[in-house]
Amino acid sequence: MVEYLPPTLDMVFQALTDATRRAMLRSLAGGDRNIGELAAPFDMSLAAASKHVKVLERAGLVRRLVQGRTHICRLEPAPLAAADEWLRFYEQFWNRRLDALDALLKAEDAAMGEPPPEGKPR
């Protein structure tokens, strides 16, 4: 018996490592596309495009619907939201660090009696 395992964050980030797959996702954000439409901007075969779509499917980023001989792909945004949530932690981390650095530099400038450099807020 084959067990279904939900896509993991690792699979999402692995799928996003390839520029072609990222471009395919961006295209799908504009609406459903067939494999030929996804392959066209890259001058690649349908088989190569299909392999990229399979990686995106395994990561849960794309759902493929088969209509006769046509394979229609649809963006599934939920895994991207999970990746975004993970990244936001580090965005907050760095914002706090940069705010602390900004405060330190302002305090140092004030202690030395120097105004901040013109045209460059600190």
Map out the domains of the chain as residue ranges: 9-77
Task: Examine the pLDDT at 50 and tell me if it is beyond 70.
Answer: yes
Please state, in angstroms and rounded to a whole number, the distance separating the CA atoms of residues 122 and 99.
Answer: 10
Radius of gyration of the chain (CA): 22
Average pLDDT, whole number, for the chain?
89
Question: Which residue has better confidence, 4 or 26?
Answer: 26
Please state, in angstroms and rounded to a whole number, the distance separating the CA atoms of residues 28 and 77.
Answer: 10
Its pTM stands at 0.73
User: How does pLDDT run across 60-89, given as a tens digit for each residue?
Assistant: 999 999 999 999 999 999 999 989 988 898
Domain 9-77 sits in CATH 1.10.10.10: yes
